Structure 1
Amino acid sequence: MKKMYSTNMGEAYCGDSLELLRSFEEESINLIITSPPFALLRKKDYGNKDENEYVSWLSEFGKIAYSKLKKDGSLVIDLGGAYLKGQPVRSLYNYRVLLEFCDNLGYNLAQEFFWYNPSKLPSPIAWVNKGKIRVKDSVNTVWWFSKSERPKSDIRKVLVPYSDRMKKLLENSDKYYTPKERPSGHHISNNFSNNNGGAIPSNLLKIANTESNSKYLKYFKKIGDELGIKSHPARFPKKLPEFFIKLLTEENDLVVDIFSGSNTTGEVAEELGRKWISCDLVEEYVASSVFRFSENELHAKSNFLKIISGELIEIK
């Protein structure tokens, strides 16, 4: 395990995430949020396990993570879907992960989320583009696991803008709204017309993964070819970790990403005033993730070259 660089709030490591997890004190982490390599049929550059061994592989991390989370801590895992090899039939690996973590590792399923990425390309090609017998897969399952039944969380931190109809109701509630019991049995009181600063979000997170003008990609476009490196191919958008970090943590809490890739989680945690620690197995990905914390193109290039050469960088 090697520390590659540090910032005011965090530290980025390269190596085995199991080793990193074991190094934490018991009940010291507020939130672990990560997107592990999915159980896909086709091998990826960033590494992924076969479906048959995936659940037991990921469970190794889940077991250690459980003891390292604080009593009110959470583990959030983003998992994409997959098909069985050679068949237009869905794999159940992500649901087997859910059952394994809850039935055998002791986690609670605090809530299931679904990340809807409207910009996702049609796939798999065999069944969608060529065979035209399946629709494109645009949703990832996101499991919010908790150690206790009541983990730290506050939906007031993730309120969304009111709809136009709700704004009209708030402006003149007497005209658009009458408190009464609805056919469903719900009794809607006068409090329904209170302005709470925003609406409660749903567990369907509509977040397009269309990053194009971020600092990370901006520097890659300018110096990636020169350095002979490529950006991480499976980055998740900043709004995804941002939602859960806001919901489940407070300032100066510790956020950990054990499959950090391009370190989107670290960047978001830094911006929100949370302490963070990230880890990835691929040195090039960790080194180039320093772009997210570099002031300009020259700074990014210099930091990357120093890290690759074995120098520990401190960014203040």
Structure 2
Amino acid sequence: MFALMQSTRTHSLHLCVDPATGLKAVIAIHNQRLGPAMGGCRYLPYPDDDTAMTDAIRLAQGMSYKAALAGLPLGGGKAVIIRNPHVENRAALFEAFGRFVDSLEGRYITATDSGTSTLDMDCIAQSTRHVTSTTTAGDPSPHSAMGVFAGIRATAMARLGTDNLEGLRVAVQGLGNVGFALAEQLHAAGAVLLVSDHDPGRVQLAMEQLNALPVASEALVSTPCDIFAPCGLGPVLNSQSVMQLRCAAVAGSANNQLTHLQVADQLETRGILYAPDYIINSGGLIYVALTHQGQDLGTITAHLARIPTRLTEVFAHAQAEKSSPARVAQQLAEKLVYNA
């Protein structure tokens, strides 16, 4: 684990066990040069402890890059709680996690993520003030989707020469809170939706409400479309899956879409434009960060509007440098995060 921390330049890793509630939690703080570390808390059934710690570390690094490129005075952090199949008191568990967050004395600010809700954040808020995404602050998912939708339009303009999504085939992989909200916006813009999700109920809802066409999860990557939008969990783009893609661009809300940076080079070689995940999906972080600072909705909306501009700049730099957008985005982020 120390090797991974060194390779990702992660500052610290914090572990907590609370036998009374069954809490087993990890908080990774990647960097605090620009400000306190902020990042969501995942509540998932990890197969083992190492996988949970690895997830926290890699996600925290992405949060540092995301905050820096979004122009936020924040560092990157991430928390994961290893989900037990049998939890007697969920509220008590999250209150215990709140005490864990509070012990870091403001170095880490938590928020919702996969498996957690605004109600869980309310429980955390019983033990610490270093939390956002409460029911009062609001769910960041719609704002994440807004940013991704704007980013898809910018990506379409860069790759297809138009930001009009009418009739474009968009494959949405994952219909969680962000994925479904994105699908709703794409449908309203006239896009043809191809969707997959492990929950058949979510797929059925998309079929009924959005005229979406269902595709088996394992087949969506190779389904012909204009834009492939990964909106689920974990890295979906690897050396094998990239060769199966039949799209013009990849632009979605998922974190850590690439298994490694060389995959971005493969996409570039194949002529598939890649929208770096920690730029296009920064809307949720922007919302929770500015809400935590007490900013109004107008200020937040104006900040969200910068996402497509930043993407367009990265696309232009990548074209000029004959590099992949992912490499350009990483270089820009590292200059900001590490003061290189």
For Structure 1 versus Structure 2, the TM-score category normalised by the shorter chain is 0.3 to 0.5
The structure with the largest helix share of the pair is: 2
Query: TM-score under structure 2 normalisation?
Result: 0.31
Q: Which of 1 and 2 has higher RCO (CA within 8 Å, sep 6+)?
A: 1
Query: TM-score under structure 1 normalisation?
Result: 0.32
